[in-house]
Each structure stands twice: as C-alpha cells, then as structure tokens.
Chain A
Amino acid sequence: MSVIAVLIICSLIVAAGFLIAFLWAVRSGQYEDKYTPSVRILFDDENESDSKLGNNFDKLNSEKS
C-alpha cells in the first residue's frame, strides 16, 4: 500500500505546481485585461511584409461582417 502514499505525494506536487502557475498568472495580470491580448496576437512580427498583415486583417474583418 505504500505505493499509494508515493502516488498521493506525486499528485499533490503536480497539483501544487498548477496552483502556483495559476497564482502566478493572476499575479502577473493575465486576468486583468482579457481583451487586448486577443487583438495583439494578430499583429504580425515586424519583419513580415505589410501587405501580408493587411490580408490577415481583411480576412478578419470580412469574417466579422
């Protein structure tokens, strides 16, 4: 049965890891602004061409409308 004790301790450590990750996420402000990052992620990186970015947004806009 002692294997259960080991398993429980492992599971607690994993769970605690997730708890810490969650607390860190809250602390770093990820729950404060839930909208802007969703827009920001669509901006292409600087080295890509402007026209390509335009296309992405054209698509986005046409989907919206």
Chain B
Amino acid sequence: MVIMLKQEILQNEKIICYHCGDDCPSNTIRIEDKYFCCEGCKLVYEILEENQLCKYYSIEDKPGKKQNVFFHKEKYSYLDDEDLIKQLLDFSEGDLARVSFVIPSMHCSSCIWLLENLHKINPAFVSSRVDFLNKTLTLTFNKKSITLRQVVELLASIGYEPEIKYDLIEKKKKVDVNKKLYYKIGIAGFAFGNIMLLSFPEYLAIDESSLGLKGIFGWLSIIISLPLFFYSGSDYLISAYKGLRRKIINIDVPLALGIIFLFFRSVYEIAFQVGAGYLDSLAGLLFFMNLGRLFQNKTFETLNFERDYKSFFPLAVSVKVKGIESTMPISRLKSGDKIVIRNNELIPADAVLYLGEANIDYSFVTGESLPVKKNPGEIIYAGGRQTGSAIELEVIKEVSQSYLTRLWNENKIKREEEHGVSMLANKISRYFTPAILFIALAAALYWIQYDIRTAVNVFTAVLIIACPCALALSTPFTMGNAIRILGKNKFYLKNTAVIERLNKIDTVVFDKTGTITQSGEFEISFVGNEFTDYEREIIKSLVKNSTHPLSLKIAEYLGECSSTYKISDYEEISGEGIEALIDNKSVKAGSRSFIASKGFVNETRGDFNTKVYISIDRDNKGFFLIKNSYRAGLESLITELKKDKEIHLITGDNEGEKTNLLNYFPDESKLNFHQTPVDKLEYINRLNESSKKVLMLGDGLNDAGALANSYVGVTISESSSYFSPACDGILDASRFPQLVKYLNFAKTSNNIVVMSFIISLMYNVIGISVAVQGLLSPIFAAILMPVSSISVVLFATLSTSFLGKRRGLL
C-alpha cells in the first residue's frame, strides 16, 4: 500500500507523455489536457486524432514508442524505382498490390488494432493483416491511389517504420514446411482412426459369419491407406532413398523398410484373403512419427538464426551524382560512387571519408558502444553507424566485396544439417539395420526347411515389427521438449540437433566486448586528487551539456548536485572533448591531447584504457578511468566451465584489460588480443583442426565468421529482437551466468534419449522373438507398435520435464 501511494505521488509530480509514457522534460508540448514528451509523439497523436483513431490509446495504456517520426524527405525515394517495387511486392494484379513488411516497433494490442485499421487513414488500403509474433504486416492497397513509397512514408509517420533491408527482395519465396506436415498428420490421423474401426471384426474375431463384410472392410482399408502410404509416409521413403544413395544407413532406412513391408504385405494378405493385414499398425506408426516431427519443429518465430549481412544492411542509400542527391539500391553501388550517410544510418560498403565529421558506432560489429572518430581520408569499414551530422564518403568496394561481408561469403564450412533425426539415432541405425536384416534372413533360412510360405511370412514379420518407430520418436520428443524448456529460460536454440552438439563441447571460446562485458555499462573510477565539492559541481555542470555516452556516464558517476553553475562558451569538439566557461573558469574534459600541457597524475605507459581527462583553469586534475564492466556471474561461470573444458578468449581489443582478465581466465596463452574478424575465424578453424568441439560465444558482426565455423555458435543478446548474426543459438544476456546449467541440461537430455533407446530396443526384442517363431498376428502388431511408441513418447517428455523442473528450469 505504501509503495502504491508512493508511485501515485511520483506520477503526480512527473508529467508523462500521453503517447509513449516517457517522462516529459517540460509541460510546453501539449494539446488540451494531453502532454507529450516530444514533437514526434504529438505529431503521431495529431494524425490519429484527425482520423478518429484515438481508440488506439484506450486499448493499451501509453501504447506508443518514442521514435523519430521525422525523416529525411528523400529517405524513401528509392521506393519509386519500378524494378525495386516489382521485387518488393508479393503480388500485383490490376489496381491491387500486396506487400508485407516487418515492423520492429510493433509491440502491443494497440499496435495490432491501429495497423489493421489503416484504411481509416487512407481508404486506398483494401486490407491490412498483422502477424504479431512475426511482427509482419501484410497490406493490400490500391496502386492507383497510393504508391509504395507513400505507404512506407505513412507507416513511418505514425511510428511504425517498416524494416526495409537488403534481404527483403530475396526472401520472397518461403515455403511453409509446417503446413505440409499438418496435412500429413491430418491424413495419417484420419487413416489411423478409420482403419482401426474397420479392423474391429478382426480384433473381436468375428470372422466366419461376416466374411463378405471383411472383404469390403479390407478393400476400404487399402483405399484409405493409399494416401497414407504415398503422402504421409513419403518423407521417410525419400530420406531413406537419399541416405542409401549417399551410402549412409540413416534411421529412416529401417523405418522405410518397415513401412514398405507393412504396406505391401497387408495389400497382399487382403487381396488374396489370407489375413487381415497390418494397415492399422502402419497408420498408427505414421501418425505418431509425423506428430513427433511437428513436436521437434518447435521454432522461435520471432527469432532469426540465419541472418547475414543482408538482413542488416539497408536496401538503399543516398548517392550524390554531380552534386545532386538521389537514392540507389545498395546492390548497384560501385566503387567510386559518392554516398551520403546521415545520423544513425549504416555504412553499407567499405568507403573513404571525404567530407564531414565521422563518429562511427561499431556496436553492431564489435559490441563496443563508444563511437570511434574518423578523419577525412580514413577508410571506414561497412557495418558502422554514423552518429552526428551527415558525412559523405566514396565507396571503394562493392557491398558484396566489403571486408565484413566477405566473412560470410568465403571460408564458410557447410555443416551437414541433419534434417530432424539425430546423429545418435543415425549412428545406431548403422548397426541396427544390418542386425535386423541378419535376424530376418536367419529366421527365414531356418523356416525354409519346413515351409517356404512361413519363411516369407517370418522374414517380412521381423522387418515389420523391428521397425524402429519408438527409437525414431525418442529423439524428437526428448529434444523437442528440451528446446522448449531452454527456450523458457531464454536460451533459444535453432533446432534439436544443437542440443546434441552442445553435449560434446570440450572447448569454450569467448569474445570480449559485448559478450563477457556488458555493452553500454562501464565501471568508472577517478584517478587523481579527490575533488572538492565545488569542483565536482563544476564538472557536473559541464558534462551535463553533452550527450556523448562518456559524458552521460560521468554525469551518472558524479551523482546529484545541489546547484549548477551558469555556463557559457560551451563547445563540443567531436572525438576530442568538451569545454566551457563555468563560474569564470575554463573547464575541459576530454582526451589527453585535448587537455594538453602540464604533468599528468599517475600516468602509466602502455595503458590502453579509455580515459577522460579533466582540467580546470589549465590545471590538470586527473582522469576518469573508464572500463567495461564484466557481466555478473562471469567468475563463477568460468570456474565451473574450466573444470572440464578449455577456455579461450579472442578479442579485437588491445591488452589494456589483460591483468584484469587474468583474474578470470586461467591460461594466459589462451588470451588473444588484437584479433581481426578473420583472425577469429582462423583461430576457430585451428581449434577445429585439432579436433576440438568448440562452443563460441560472441555477439557482434565481427564474430560472425567464428560463430558460423564453430561446432556450436551462440550469440549473447541484450534483447532478443536486437540484431544477432547467424548462429546456432541465442542466449539472453540476463541468463549468461546460467550457461553451465543449460549445458548440463543438454547432457541430461542426451542421457534421456539413450534411455528411451534402450526401452524401445527392449520392445524390439519382444517383437522379434515373437516374429521369428512365425506367430506375429495383426492384433499383436496393432497392440505392440502403438504401445511402444506411446510409452517411449511419454517417458521422453515426462522425464525431460521432470528433470527440468528439478533443476529449476521450469
């Protein structure tokens, strides 16, 4: 109660933006009784108000997101390009066109409502449909009354700027595999139920009197099982065939053998009226198998594990030709082109700066959040983001030839992706299949002495009953459940095969910046004489004026100050520092060369840490030492990991932190500094060559090559919607200390799979011992096969859930 009251008081004191819920710096921006934090929010409100869409504000409280709704007038002019429009549209016929966009700022039910009511703003929209989890908006609009450019501009002006990236034009043809799987399950389920119904006379042994019906029932079953066999079972047959052609006996080979013999023997038995066939078993088997695949196909819709530079770079960039600016798709950029990059825009290709002040934020690339200053004449690599005023550059390499993009295109080991079924199951199949064939042949040879028909029957019966459906089901259900449990703990894996690989890890390689350090978080200490209160306030007054991340951090470090002094002649020299006249004293904060003059306090050579020097009236006071702060739990994580794994560190940074890092990392020779992205990749490759199973933990684009080539590449991400390079798994930064726990859980899941294998092999032994005696009856098969499948499925899912719960993961 007390807390609630406090909150209320706080709310009374602060004015909160009606649109986005942020604090308003002043109460000047307002419409009637509604206050706004910025002109952008107000503008969005005005548009919505004008179109009677204010319901937006009643669905969720403060649904807006603060973002820049003012964009450069020509920003989207490239969308007038006919070729590009054609590539972007999903479909276009007559006056109608359909397009789908990813809209990152979509986040609540108000967003859904507004985006689905766009027709109220402009009647040219015929329909709009939101897929919330995928953050996509599909729009159908009338081409005659609105252009694609206007569509995008409208969305941007109400705060829902679509993400138009380079890969948008390539991703158009996405086949939905899941849809086919649903069809297959539907058909198999239908067949399963109906064939069982038709088999009832057989189960109840009502044969003699209703012989006529039995014939009809048999033929009906065959008709039903045709789509079952040829459609629902096709994946297993095709996969087995593909495996055999590559001379690999995968788990699908014995499965396919079982399916084929089940089907043809049943057809034979029914056609010649020698038996009832095993079609019910076949239907049950295919139903469970396909269900298992659906369970395994658990994907995290909102995450993307396949991103490369194309989903990162913009689709177009401003180009200056003979002084006239226009936009051009980046695929057409050639070396020599002059490009203009504005605040917060990305540099799409390696280029030389020739005009303007560049402050490049490479946080996407390296994880380092402090901008780097570049002077005219310097090369700026693609992937950096300009902060500050517009700059002009001359492209020196095409996009596909740029330094970072080449990391993707070259040197990439194509890891064999096992489709669904696990490596372990495939390994077992290599011995299992010949063993089964041997038993079947031996039994047939034994029976051939007595009766050739029994011999054939026994041979097929062994292959049918040995069909390793329970074996094939144990991996998808165990791993499918494990992936869900890990997903709940914010460790998102690309597919179930990754869990199996995690289990074999013996080497862990860390990246430094952004991975073991927290990006944007710094440890600040002051080296020099203690400030007097007066000095502290003066410095605070100075740094308060700058929005540079370092100034903000120092201001935070200095804490609240009671009084602030009048400030004049304020000047910010980007990349150098800030200075001003405060209380008639010249106060400076910035780099060493910026402060210049007199002796420095406690200066140590070879120290590479970031420092901000302070001087007051030319008197040097010392410097703020700014260090990246390590993630909480790093120490215990490494202590746990180094028990049975090698620990490496590769970083592009200098050795400034070396002594500090040695507190955490055991082996100095495994700390590697000054590593370029290519070095990182080669480092991983060397580890691979010495047959190490490497788990790479990285974050930025510069780790992309290393992540792709490691046995398992995991990205540490501050927020799951944030950019992450192609990888096998994404670990939420807040769960970083839990990594060991997750690795252990992967190991447990693997053990569960092994145990389910043993159970299902026991069923096989029972089945085969009956089959070799020539006693396999349809009813026995119809009971044993579903029972074995269901019991293995139950064991796999329940034991993973149980163990997950015991470890506090559920």
Contacts and interface: CB of A to CB of B under 8 A. Distances in A.
B132 A26 contact: no
A43 B113 contact: yes
Contact of B55 (A15, A18, A31, A53): A53
A36 B186 contact: no
A40 interface: yes
B298 to A, nearest CB: 13
Interface stretch (B212-220, B615-623, B715-723, B750-758): B212-220
Contact of B186 (A12, A19, A32, A51): A19
Contacts of A36: 112, 130-133
A57 B63 CA distance: 13
Interface residues of A, number: 30
Contacts of A12: 194, 220
B110 to A, nearest CB: 9
B809 to A, nearest CB: 24
A53 B58 contact: yes
A15 B190 CA distance: 7
B571 interface: no
Contacts of A32: 131, 176, 178-179
Contacts of B197: 8, 11
Given A15-B194, A43-B113, A26 B179 contact: yes
A23 B186 contact: yes
Question: Chain A at the B interface: mostly helix, strand, loop or mixed?
Answer: helix
B25 interface: no
Contacts of B61: 61
B59 interface: yes
Contacts of A18: 190
B133 A26 contact: no
B121 interface: no
A26 B182 contact: yes
B133 A1 contact: no
B182 A57 contact: no
Contacts of B194: 11-12, 15
Contacts of B59: 43, 53-54, 57
Contacts, number: 74
A8 B55 contact: no
Nearest to A38: B132
Contacts of A53: 55, 58-59
B343 interface: no
Nearest to A16: B190
A33 interface: yes
A8 B217 contact: yes
Nearest to A42: B109
A15 B133 CA distance: 33
Contacts of A11: 194, 197
Interface string A36-56: 100110110000001101100
B187 interface: yes
A33 B131 contact: yes
Given A12-B194, A40-B112, A50 B58 contact: yes
B193 interface: yes
A36 B133 CA distance: 7
A50 B55 contact: yes
B769 interface: no
Contact of A8 (B133, B134, B198): B198
Nearest to B54: A50
A1 B132 contact: no
A65 to B, nearest CB: 11
A39 B134 contact: no
Contacts of A15: 190, 193-194
Contacts of A42: 109
Contacts of A23: 183, 186
Interface string A14-33: 01101100110011000111
B202 interface: no
A1 B220 contact: no
Contact of B58 (A1, A31, A57): A57
A16 B197 CA distance: 14
B210 interface: yes
A31 B179 contact: yes
A5 B131 contact: no
A35 B213 contact: no
Contact of B60 (A4, A19, A57): A57
Contacts of B506: none
Interface centre among B61, B116, B134, B190 (most CB of A within 10 A): B190
B112 A54 contact: no
B109 A39 contact: yes
Interface centre among B116, B131, B209 (most CB of A within 10 A): B131
Interface string B163-187: 0000000000000101100110011
Contacts of B113: 43
B220 to A, nearest CB: 7
B55 A35 contact: no
Contacts of B109: 39, 42-43, 57
Contacts of A31: 178-179, 182
Contacts of A50: 54-55, 58
B179 A35 contact: no
B766 to A, nearest CB: 33
Contacts of B116: 40
Interface in B31-79: 54-55, 58-61
A11 to B, nearest CB: 7
A12 B726 CA distance: 49
B411 to A, nearest CB: 36
B187 A8 contact: no
A48 B178 CA distance: 38
A63 B775 CA distance: 60
A4 B214 CA distance: 11
Interface of B: 54-55, 58-61, 109, 112-113, 116, 130-134, 176, 178-179, 182-183, 186-187, 190, 193-194, 197-198, 209-210, 213, 216-217, 220
27 contacts: A1-B210, A5-B216, A8-B198, A11-B197, A12-B220, A15-B194, A16-B190, A26-B179, A26-B183, A26-B186, A31-B178, A31-B179, A32-B131, A32-B178, A36-B112, A36-B133, A39-B109, A40-B116, A43-B109, A43-B113, A50-B54, A53-B55, A53-B58, A53-B59, A57-B58, A57-B109, A61-B60
Interface of A: 1, 4-5, 8, 11-12, 15-16, 18-19, 22-23, 26-27, 31-36, 39-40, 42-43, 50-51, 53-54, 57, 61
By Cβ-Cβ distance, the 4 closest A-B pairs, closest first, are A54-B58, A36-B132, A19-B190, A26-B182
